[in-house]
C-alpha cells in the first residue's frame, strides 16, 4: 500500500493517507459518540491504523461556560467538528470511524455525520451517566443501532452491569461493555461488540 504525506486543508491538519488494499470489498461507516470529554478522540486515535484527523481546539472562556467540566477539570481542548480514523478488520472489510461531538450545539453537524452510518458506539462515563441520554436520544431518533461502552477513568466509580443498564435505561438487547479508550485491545473489543450486534441485527431483519 502506498502513502502520501499529510497536508493542511482549510487550517486543519489532514491525516497521512495509506491506501486500501485491492481486496477490500466492503467499507462500513461507524460513529463513535458520547457526551463532552468522554474519550471519543482518544478512542479513535487508539484504533486508527492511519494518523487520525482531529479537529481539537483550545477551550475558550465561552466554551467553559457551556461545557460541563465536572470530573474533567484539567481538560483544555475540545473537538469542534469531528475525529476520523480507519481500521481494517480483514482483507475485505474496513471500518471508517467518525468521532462525533456530543454537545447540543453540534447537533446539526452530528445529524449530517450520521447519514450512511450503520451504527454507533456510545462512550459513557460513570461519573456523568445522565449526560449520555441526549446522545442516545439522537441515535434512537435516527433509528441508528448502538452499543454502549463505559470508558474506565482513573478514580471513577464502578457499578454492576445491572445497575448500569438500569441507570442508562438500556434495552436487554443493547450491548453494554467496559473499556479503556487508551488501550488498543480493550478498545478493539468494544468495537467488536458493536459490529457483532450490527451483524446480528441485520440477520434478524433478513429472517423477519
pTM (predicted TM-score): 0.76
Arch. (CATH architecture) of 26-68+78-206: 3-Layer(aba) Sandwich (3.40)
Kindly give the pairing relationship between strand 146-151 and strand 77-79: unpaired
Pairwise CA distance, residues 197 & 187, whole Å:
16
Per-residue model confidence as pLDDT tens digits over 41-63: 999 999 999 987 755 445 344 44
How much is the CA Rg of the chain, to the nearest whole Å? 17
Backbone φ and ψ of 29, nearest 5°: -95, 125
Q: How do the domains of the chain map onto residue ranges?
A: 26-68+78-206
Pairwise CA distance, residues 148 & 121, whole Å:
6
Q: Which residues, in sequence order, are bridge partners of residue 8?
A: 13
Per-residue pLDDT of the chain (208 residues; tens, 9 = 90+): 333 333 333 333 333 445 556 666 688 999 999 988 899 999 999 999 998 775 544 534 444 434 454 554 444 444 445 788 999 877 888 899 999 886 666 677 777 888 899 999 999 999 999 999 999 998 998 899 999 999 999 999 999 999 999 999 999 999 999 999 999 999 999 999 999 999 998 877 676 6
Kindly give the pairing relationship between strand 3-4 and strand 17-18: antiparallel
Q: Three-state DSSP class for 43?
A: helix
Q: Three-state DSSP class for 4?
A: strand
Amino acid at each position: 500500500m502506498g502513502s502520501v504525506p499529510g497536508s493542511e486543508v482549510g487550517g486543519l491538519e489532514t491525516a497521512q493517507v495509506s491506501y486500501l488494499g485491492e481486496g477490500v470489498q466492503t467499507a462500513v461507516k461507524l460513529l463513535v459518540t458520547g457526551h463532552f470529554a468522554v474519550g471519543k478522540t482518544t478512542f479513535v486515535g487508539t484504533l486508527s491504523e492511519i494518523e487520525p484527523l482531529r479537529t481539537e481546539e483550545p477551550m475558550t472562556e465561552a466554551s467553559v461556560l457551556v461545557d460541563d467540566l465536572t470530573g474533567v477539570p484539567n481538560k483544555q481542548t475540545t473537538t469542534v467538528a469531528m475525529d476520523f480514523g480507519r481500521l481494517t478488520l480483514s482483507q475485505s472489510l474496513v471500518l471508517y470511524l467518525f468521532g462525533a461531538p456530543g454537545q447540543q450545539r453540534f447537533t446539526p453537524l452530528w445529524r449530517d455525520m450520521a447519514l450512511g452510518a450503520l451504527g454507533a458506539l456510545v462512550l459513557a462515563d460513570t461519573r456523568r451517566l445522565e449526560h449520555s441520554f441526549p446522545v442516545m436520544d439522537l441515535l434512537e431518533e435516527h433509528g441508528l443501532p448502538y452499543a454502549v461502552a463505559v470508558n474506565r477513568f482513573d478514580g471513577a466509580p464502578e457499578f454492576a452491569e445491572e445497575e448500569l443498564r438500569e441507570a442508562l435505561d438500556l434495552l436487554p438487547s443493547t450491548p453494554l461493555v467496559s473499556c479503556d479508550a487508551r488501550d488498543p485491545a480493550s478498545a478493539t473489543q468494544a468495537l467488536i461488540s458493536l459490529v457483532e450486534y450490527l451483524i446480528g441485527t441485520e440477520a434478524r431483519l433478513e429472517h423477519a
